Amino acid sequence: MFKQQQFRVGLLFNANKVYDRQVIEGIGHFLQSSKVSWDIFLEEDCLTRITDLASWEVDGVIADYDDPKIVAALEDFDKCKVAVGSSYQNSSHYPAVDYIATDNTAVITAAFEHLKSKGIANFGFYGLPKSAQWKWATERQSAFEKLCAQNGFKHQCYIGQQTKASTWADAMQKLAAWIEELALPVGIIAATDARARHLLQVCDSLNLVVPDQVCIVGVDDDDIARNLSRVSLSSVSQGCFEMGFQAAKALDKALNRPPSQIQKQFQRKLIPPLGVVQRQSTDFKALQDPYVIQAMHFIRQNATKRIKTDQVLDFVGISRSNLEARFSAEIGHSIHQQIHQEKVDIACKLLHETQKSLSQIAEESGYPSTQYFYSVMKKHFNLTPNQYRHQQNQS
């Protein structure tokens, strides 16, 4: 039986980033679904070491070319190379290697169209300082500015500074000053989920209501960063898994190319994002009444704590008849119905996106018992919670 030649392959990534972790996962999927025989070298802590690349006994590498240090280290590397990294509007910025890129224009377009569909008319972008290691952020800002110009929308960009412990307070004060100058309501696209988290924290300190006054979209759909704030973050999910798969496929082709066949043209492939994963930070309805905005904010933050209409009234500080009239005019139903709807939405999201038990979901959604949760789902959807979960997972 024919046995495919085994190759030694090195991976140069920093897996403390969700982007790199998902690319590595895609590479692994290629290995599992194909007949290649690769001996993979990846540092035990999944962090790149490039000081001794000359001693690497590998036949090829897949590397993160967003890192200028990795690019420099591989400049004289004479084995097969496949790069993963940012897309560029200027084609001369691509290196002379097979290159699999995240489509930055498509990433920002997805975020922009998501906000635009909400009726947002004012836009902002929160980026990163210009740097060799953050070229992708500059590309995203450029794509954002072009989209706003093409669609005739007012927009403001803020770069800010690199944040670290010693500069954190100053950086957040300057970011707050920028946000306070924006016309509200505004939709802000952040270059990363980490930057988006800055926006959420500053809005909280300024008592700006997310999403009613400030809608925020990040990039990466980082499962760690999105849970570090009280308001869950909407984010663009990049096609990193597919990037890893295509990078491994390209390297396999290069490794099996006959020595006599000189590579005349390098492959360049742009991978689009999977789309925007919507959460609370863009659950925007174009509300105008400031009392209704306050009430909606309180309900979103506290619905699962079994609040009643009286607690919403206490928070807003006006009479029941006044707020109910305003609420009905803006939302179309009562405060009580909105509390109910918020709890149902949370329960449905947990049923669809997690494998938590029904008792856990009932508790986290603010229902007094699993039996009561059953009756709510049956009345609302004419389905039991398990039937709803099965239906959603099949769709």
Parse the chain into domains and list their residue ranges.
6-102+239-274, 104-237+277-282, 290-394
pLDDT score of 1 more than 50: no
In the predicted model, what is the mean pLDDT of residues 45-54?
69
Out of 83-97, 215-229, 266-280, 316-330, least confident range? 215-229
Question: In angstroms, what CA-CA distances link 53 with 14, 41, 47?
Answer: 16, 12, 14
Rounded CA-CA distance 296/318 in Å is 14
Reported as a single tens digit per residue, the pLDDT across 113-159 is 999 988 888 999 999 999 999 999 999 999 999 999 999 998 999 99
Rounded CA-CA distance 221/67 in Å is 21
Asked if 291 and 302 count as a contact pair (C-beta separation under 8 A), the reply is no
Asked if 294 and 311 count as a contact pair (C-beta separation under 8 A), the reply is no
User: Is pTM, for the whole model, over 0.85?
Assistant: no
Query: What is the reported pLDDT for 45?
Result: 72
Q: Is 321 exposed, middle or buried (0-12, 13-18, 19+ CB in 10 A)?
A: exposed
Q: Which amino acid is at 153?
A: F
Q: Which residue has the tokens 């969700």?
A: 18
pLDDT score of 64 more than 70: yes
Name the superfamily (CATH) of residues 104-237+277-282.
Response regulator (3.40.50.2300)
Query: What is the reported pLDDT for 152?
Result: 92
pLDDT score of 275 more than 90: yes
Rounded CA-CA distance 350/365 in Å is 9
SS3 assignment, position 275: strand
Name the superfamily (CATH) of residues 6-102+239-274.
Response regulator (3.40.50.2300)
Top-level class of domain 290-394: mainly alpha
Query: What is the reported pLDDT for 16?
Result: 76
Domain 6-102+239-274 and domain 104-237+277-282 have a common topology? yes
Rounded CA-CA distance 110/274 in Å is 9
Out of 88-92, 163-167, 238-242, least confident range? 163-167
